[in-house]
Every structure is written in structure tokens, then in C-alpha cells.
Structure 1
Amino acid sequence: MMRRRTTLLASCTALALSLGATACGGGGPVSAGGGDKPLSGQTINVAGVWSGSEQKNFQKVLDAFTEKTGAKTQFTSTGDNVSTVVGSKIEGGNAPDVVMVPQVGVLQQFAEEGWLRPLSKTARKSVDANYADVWKNYGSVDGSLYGLYFKAAHKSTVWYSPDALDEAGVEAPASYDAMLEAGRTVSESGLAAFSVAGQDGWTLTDWFENVYLSQAGPEKYDALAAHETKWTDPSVVAALTTLGKLFKDKELIAGGQKGALNTDFPGSVEKVFGPEPAAGMVYEGDFVAGVAKDQFGKKIGEDADFFPFPAVGDGKAPVVSGGDAAVVLKDGKSPKAAMAFLEYLATPEASAVWAEVGGFLSPNKELDLASYGDDITRETAKSLVDAGDSVRFDMSDQAPAAFGGTKGAGEWKLLQDFLRDPSDPKATAAALEKAAAKAYQD
């Protein structure tokens, strides 16, 4: 579908001036109001997937924007089906002003539907100055920058109980094979090595992506993410074979394959950091720390720690990320205030608000690491920023939702099937290609 061209409304405000910016329309600065609260009287509606503690923490960012500008804010939680919810609101004449989009594929869909306004000159300037190019690329469609990545996830972290590893006498491994060997030593000490959240198919895509990025390399990763390389490629079969070594080893997985398929993500964290530990390690993103801290009272860095997902074979250690990009809908009712909000989100000041309360990483390299509340989060954030353009966005989030983001279908289901029976990587690769081809064609 051809993307309908839209005209960028001037969105520069006194807020932009306070950030040292100029008007984005080429003339003098545009004021949205008077006094110290330039957007008083305006309201923006922001939609996003967040709920619970994440929504509560994002509200602090919204409140800080209100304090700075006078604009009121309303947040609507969409749940996981962002595309469906937002599309319905647009059709009903009730489009939100800003959407926090969690998937590259959805951002691209929104742009192709003609729903989005390109970012203002002020926001683009901040992205150019404060972000690695990779974040700009993931926020762009057909050469226009639509998405401002505010919140990121570091999905190349393996979390562990220091007590469990100490009891087994093992240290954080430096290679994938060493990680499996360390896991076997942990299992000999009485705990399973890994808690795997197989009930949630998205966690299995993350396992695959880390193995594939390290083993096949970034160029192959990009080609597979764009479906320029087929899933039947030998590199995919090799990665599935590597992953299958873990999935089929009953010593390594808490409850075996059946137990993993009955464990969701929060349950996988509980099996390591809950009151009755069943495993020593759990792989997932930096957000594991939030669950371990908030639900099980663990002190990050003492009761819960992480090591980087290790390199596979001769490859480099992977850095897979995810993130939420702020976009402005063209049918929103407050376009100037909405764009001013994105200009605010592009500043280190806005990121610091959430960083201070935890459960947050920023791709903004100008954010002072001292803003984060603990050394482990600072280490994770530094790793993400230092990775620069070698970061690769979650592959399943780049795919059409029918393949990479639907419960019980596509990649999620097929990798669950592979966890259940990892004996035939070639057959799994063929099934993945069949599902991918249909989703990309549709």
C-alpha cells in the first residue's frame, strides 16, 4: 500500500524554545500560549500497551510534561493489540494524539496507512544528536522519520541467582557452550539450570534471535528480519540446531519440555527468584529485574544479577533490543501539543523521570547513567548505548503480526512446537518459512 503523503503541521512551541530549538516551519517560533505554561488549555491523549507499574511510571513522565507546559494528558492502555485498538479509534473519529508503538512492523503499518505525521525538525535534530543511527532507521519509513524511541529493552541478558551459581561453584560463562556446561553443573547441585517460559511464545522468539544474531551475524539477521532470506536457509537450521541442544536436555530445563510449555514469563522468573526456587537461571530482557524486585523483593545486584547472553561459536555476543516508539497521529485533536510532547520525550530530562523510578532503559545516549537507581541497571543501560549501531531490534517485532506477534500462530506457535519436539530443525525451518511467506504476502 502506498503511503499517503501528509503535511507536517508546525509544532514548535515555547517548550521547544526552552530546549534551545527553533521553529520547524522555517519562519519564526510559533507560540502555543502565553506565560510559563505555553500549552495551557490543551489536552493530549496518549495510547500505549503499558498497564500496572509501567503505566504508573509513565504517568510520572506525563505529569512532568504537564508541569513544564501546562498541557493536560490522558493515557489509554490498549493491551497487546495496538494496531486493532488504534485502527478502531481512528475509524470512530476518536484517534489518540500520540501512540507508544511497541513493534517496528506496526509502526510501518501505521505509516503506510497514512496515519502518522513525520517528526518535527526539533525532534529530528534531537534524534540525530542523541541516538545511534539504528534507532532512527527503525523509526523511519520511506525515508521519513515517524517514530521517537523513548523506552528500550535489552533482550540479551541472562538473569541468575548468585546463591545458586555460588552453590554450584560456577561463574558467569563467556560462551553459549560454556553456559550449557555451567547449567549442567547447576543441575547436579540440585536445581534445574534454566527456567524457560515456553507458554509465552514471544520468549522463544527472543531465544532464537540471540542465537541467530550471534551465530549468523548482523547481515543475515537483517535479511531474515526483512524476509529477504528464507527461513529454510541453512543459517536458520543451524541456529535451531544450536537452540535445540538446550531444549532437548532434560537436565537443563526446569520441569523439562512439558514444564516449560506450562510456564509463562512471570512464572519463569518466579522459578528462579520466588520463595521456592526451581532453577538457577532465566533468560529474558532487563525487565526480569523489575519482576524479581517488585514481586519477590529481590535486591538487584545482590539477590539477582545477570550476565550478557554469551557468544555462540565464533560469533560475537549479541545485543537484541526492543522498544516503544512515540508517534503522532495525523487525526489527533491536538497536533501541536502532541508534537511538543515528542520533542520533550527526545530530551534526557524526560528519560530521567522514568529512569529514577526504575523498570526503564533509554536509548538516548545523553541520559546521565547516574539517573538510574542501581548499578545493575546502569550496567545494562551502558551496554545498550555502547552497542551503538550493532544493536538489532527484536526480529519478531519487525515481522507482520500474523507471523511474529500472534498468540497460537506463526513463529510463536511453531517455536513452541519446536520446544515440544526439537528433533527436526529442518522441518521446523520449513514450517516457519511457510508461515512467514503467507504473512509477508498478505
Structure 2
Amino acid sequence: MRRRTTLLASCTALALALGATACGGGPVAAGGGGKSLSGQTITVAGVWSGSEQKNFQKVLDAFTEKTGASARFTSTGDNVSTVVGSKIEGGNAPDVVMVPQVGVLQQFAKKGWLKPLSRTAQQSVDANYASVWKKYGSVDGTLYGLYFKAAHKSTVWYSPDALDQAGVKPPKTYDAMLKAGHTVSDSGLAAFSVAGQDGWTLTDWFENIYLSQAGPEKYDALAAHKIKWTDPSVVEALTTLGRLFKDKQLIAGGQKGALNTDFPGSVEKVFGPEAQAGMVYEGDFVAGVAKDQFDKKIGQDADFFPFPAVDGGKAPVVSGGDAAVVLKDGKNQKAATRFLEYLATPEASAVWAGAGGFLSPNKKVDLASYGDDVTRETAKSLIAAGDSVRFDMSDQAPAAFGGTKGTGEWKLLQDFLRDPSDPKATAAELERAAAKAYQD
């Protein structure tokens, strides 16, 4: 997805120089200017590494160019809660954390670690974001988190050549998707590459099915553990997911192969030099791996269709995202506050959008900032969904249940992939794990 032409590079440079939102935009109120923070340094922590860290560095550099403040990024790995907690206890708290899970943001807020967003940043959120993003950034009515980077997790990526060879079109329903998968399989490739080694991908499968099948009210209730995981709606969604998991014709390498495939490997099985499957379900970030690792041209060699509707429900739009928060124990709260005000501007989003591998929930970001038509389409879909977007359910849960490798929902859905024969038993195990995590 992504590299924009020199026109975008010039546009971004012009925006930075003139303080414009994006090409054609008006002046940026937030973030300041005139290098008023020269000599100051902020530290930013987040889960990003590799190309994501490299591209976020461009945003940090743009902030430095605008304000004069230096910005250093530290990658925490997946266990952001543990790493940040230890840094706070050691008196070395970062100024800003890019929090990848609603549950972790809530945990930080309840421990008293966070500073509310400034009035300027709050005004930007009110004006430029659907209210659902304010909801997910707030705890007990106070807005702490600014969602800078979003993910569209309701996209099924496919090889156009594989579907053309099988003579199938992108499906509109879940049943049609499985039927198309059998046709792809009959043509010589497995239908789906499933990243079962990474439990988080399995939670995303479940969430899309559950949101479409059970509806948004049930989804919200389950995410808050206001209904139990033994609810019939959960069993029904697991049964629907199990139809895919138990069908060895549909999954590359069968269940065992899926359990030995991580996320990058699942993309490789579709878009790598030796294709083993025609489709892979995951978020818009699949495009980045396909392009950067396997030199695929997005929209030609790799494309997507929306996750299809299940049993007559609406097509789901599940999202994830990283929220910027300011820590009270950080050493430079003034510059950190200005940094979040900058992140709230379309200008900041345009920097990473031009680099690729990025979607913004900010409605004011010009779609022309994105480097290809497919990314523009996913960004447009995310914005158009408005308040019907639902945040990744596992990311809303306590980390012990929804965000820890080898335990909780991640492990139990891996167990279900291994043996999907008893959805009721799996639902009961999920409820036991959830009850403990939400109580703690």
C-alpha cells in the first residue's frame, strides 16, 4: 500500500512548512509552531517495530521540524502494560504511550497514571472524530486517549489470480465465502491461510462473526462482560466459526498447519513466492506485508473484499487502534501535551498516510494522502461506518483475558481451532477465564 508519488511528498512538505492540514486544508490550530519547544525532549513508547516504527518516526520528525522538540521512540513489544508499569515504578516513565488496547487504557487510567487530554485536543476529537472514538478513549467520562492510528479489521485479502482461476467473485455472505472457498480449493489451492499460531487473529475471526450474527448491542454487552460467554449467541458464533476450522479442505495445512502459522506467515502463504492459499483474513495491515515483503502491487496482485455478512446480519466493521496518552509521571508534560495536539491534526496523519501502512479515524484527513486506491477505499469505509464501528472486543477486555499470549481468549480459541467439536465447552472455558480476569 503505499508509496505516494513526489506530488504527495511535495504536498506533505508544503503542509509542514505552511502549517496546513493537508494539501488544500486550512491552518492547523493544534500543535503550535515557531519551534517554541526547542531544546526539549519527549519520550514515546509503543508496540510498533519494523516498518511501523520507521514510519512513525517520520511523524516524530515532522513534530520536531514544527516545534523544535526532540522525540525518541521506544518499542515495548506486545506487553505494553508490563513494560510501562515497570518503567513508572523505576522512575523512568515515558512522556507518551501509544496504547494498543482499550482494556490497557482503562487499566492505566484507573491506576491514576494518565493525564486527561488538553482542551485543544478534546476540541479536535469532538470536531474531527466519530463519537465512538471518544467513547473508547474515555474512562468514567474523562477523555484520556487520542486515537491516532486505526485498523480496519473487517477485510478479507485475496489473490485476484487465485479467484480468477477458480472462477469465483468476492462473496457477499459468510456462507457464500465458504462455498467460494471450496471452489478455490477444487482449483488446486487451499481457500484460506489462517494464522492460528497468533491467538489474536482468531479473536478477530470470532468478533467479525459475532458482530454480524448477534448485532452491536450484544457485542457491546459481551465486550463489557455484561452477558456471559456461555450466552447462546456466543455458542452460535463459535459454531459458525467452527464450520471453517473443522473443514480441512478450506485451511492451508489443515488445523495443524494453521496452528504453526504466524500472521506474517499467513500472508506469505497467499502472496509469497509459493502460494498455498487464495485468501487470508485480517486487517488492512495485510496490504503492508504483501507490498513490503512480497513486492505485490495493491489493487492488482493483492486486493480485499469486506468481511461478509453472517446469517442475514449486517456486514461487520471491527476496528482496532492505538491511542496516544500522556503519563502523569513523564518528565515533560508540556511538550507531551503539544505532541498529542499535533497528532490530532490531519497534518500529522498525512505524514504516515503518505508513507503507508496506516489508517486514520480522523474524518478531516484528505483521502488523497493515502498512497493507493485500495488504502483509500479502506479508509473511506472506516470513516463511513461512523458510530457503527466496534472496537476489537479482545482489546477492550482485561489483558489477562484478551491480550496475553498463551492464556485467556487467545489460548482458548487456539484450542478451539485444534478441536472445534464442542462449542458449548469452549464457551464455558471462555466464561471461566473471563470471569476471573474481569474480577481481578
TM range (shorter): over 0.9
Amino acid aligned to 1:158: V
Superposed, which structure 2 residues align to 1:181-200 within 5 Å? 181-200=179-198
Q: Which residue of 2 aligns with 1:385?
A: 383
Query: What is the one-letter code of the residue matched to 2:387?
Result: D
Corresponding residue SS for 1:197: coil
Q: Within 5 A, what are the aligned runs for 1:63-78?
A: 63-78=61-76
State how far apart, in whole Å, the 2-side matches of 1:274 and 1:406 are. Answer: 29
Please name the residue that 2:123 is paired with: 125
Q: What SS class does the counterpart of residue 295 from structure 1 fall into? A: helix
> How far apart are 1:19 and its partner, in Å?
3.1
Aligned partner of residue 126 in structure 1, secondary structure:
helix
Q: Secondary structure at the match of 2:53?
A: helix
Whole-Å Cα distance in 2 between the matches of residues 298 and 223 of structure 1?
40
Residues of 2 paired with 1:153 and 1:366: CA distance? 17
| Counterpart for residue 94 of structure 2 | 96
Of residues 212, 216, 223, the one that matches 2:210 is 212
Alignment match, 2:84? 86
Shift of 1:314: 1.1
Describe the SS at the equivalent of 1:387: helix
Aligned partners of 1:44, 1:408: CA distance in 2, in Å? 34
1:252-305 CA deviation, whole Å, 9 max, x = no partner? Answer: 001111111111111110000000000000000000000000000000000000
- The separation in 2 between residues aligned to 1:78 and 1:263, in whole angstroms, is 23
1:61 corresponds to: 59
Distance 1:421 1:63 in 2: 48
Counterparts of 1:9-28 in structure 2, within 5 Å, are 19-20=28-29
What residue is the counterpart of 1:163 in the other structure? 161
1:11-35 CA-partner distances (Å, limit 9, x unpaired): xxxx9xx73369xxxxxxxx9xxx9
SS state at 2:294 partner: coil
State the one-letter code of the partner of 2:402: G
CA–CA distance in structure 1, aligned partners of residues 305 and 93 of structure 2: 42
Q: How does 1:229-240 map to 2 (within 5 A)?
A: 229-240=227-238
Q: Is the 8 A contact 2:255 2:418 kept in 1?
A: yes
1:358 aligns with 2:367: no
User: 2:274 aligns to what?
Assistant: 276
Q: Which residue of 1 aligns with 2:147?
A: 149
Contact 2:30 2:121 in 1 (8 A): no
Equivalent position SS for 2:325: strand
> Match for 1:326: what amino acid?
A
Q: CA deviation at 1:250?
A: 1.0
Q: What's the secondary structure of 2:37's corresponding residue?
A: coil
1:356 aligns to what SS in structure 2?
helix
2:30–2:344 Cα contact (<8 Å) kept: no
Residue of 306, 311, 322 corresponding to 1:324: 322
**Counterpart residue number, 1:306:** 304
Alpha-carbon deviation of 1:41? 1.3
Match of 1:256 in 2: 254
SS at match of 2:355: coil
Deviations 1:384-425 (CA, angstroms, capped at 9, x unpaired): 010000000000001111111111111011111111111110
Q: Within 2, Cα distance between the matches of 1:158 and 1:415?
A: 20
Matches of 1:85 and 1:435 in 2, distance apart?
A: 23
Secondary structure at 1:242 match in 2: helix
Q: Does residue 50 of the first structure (1) align with residue 59 of the second (2)?
A: no
Provide runs of 4+ in structure 1 moved above 4 Å. Answer: none
Correspondence list, 1:340-379, <5 A: 340-379=338-377
Structure 2 CA distance for aligned equivalents of residues 124 and 426 of structure 1: 44
Deviations 1:328-377 (A, max 9, x none): 00111111110000000000000000000100000001000000000000
CA deviation digits over 1:316-339, x for unaligned, max 9? Answer: 000000000000001111111100
Count of aligned positions: 416
In the alignment, is the contact (CA less than 8 A) between 2:30 and 2:341 conserved in 1? no
Shift of 1:218: 0.3
Please state how far the C-alpha of 1:80 moved relative to its aligned partner: 0.7
Q: Secondary structure at the match of 1:251?
A: coil
3-state secondary structure, aligned to 1:260: helix
Which letter does structure 1 place at the counterpart of 2:52? E
CA distance in 2, matches of 1:94, 1:263: 37
Residue type of the alignment partner of 1:19: V
- CA drift of 1:436 comes to 0.4
Letter in 2 for 1:229: I
Mapped partners of 1:331, 1:433: distance in 2? 36
The residue identity in structure 1 corresponding to 2:349 is S
* Structure 2 partner of 1:10: none
Deviation at 1:36, TM superposition (A): 2.1
* Higher RCO by CA contacts (8 Å cutoff, separation 6 or greater): 2
> Which residue is 2:3 aligned to?
none
Quote the Cα distance in structure 2 between the aligned partners of 1:402 and 1:99: 20
Counterpart of 2:356 in structure 1: which amino acid? Answer: G
What TM-score results when the alignment is normalised by the length of structure 2? 0.93
- Amino acid across the alignment from 1:46: V
Residue type of the alignment partner of 2:296: K
Does the 8 A contact of 2:401 with 2:434 survive in 1? yes
Structure 2 letter corresponding to 1:237: V
- Structure 2 CA distance, aligned partners of 1:294 and 1:106? 30
Give matches, 1:283-294, under 5 Å: 283-294=281-292
Q: What is the TM-score normalised by the length of structure 1?
A: 0.93
Partner of 1:27 in structure 2? none
CA distance in 2, matches of 1:21, 1:200: 38
Is the contact between residue 267 and residue 290 of structure 2 (CA under 8 Å) also seen in structure 1? yes
Counterpart in the other structure of 1:337 = 335
SS at match of 1:75: strand
User: Structure 2 CA distance, aligned partners of 1:36 and 1:383?
Assistant: 36
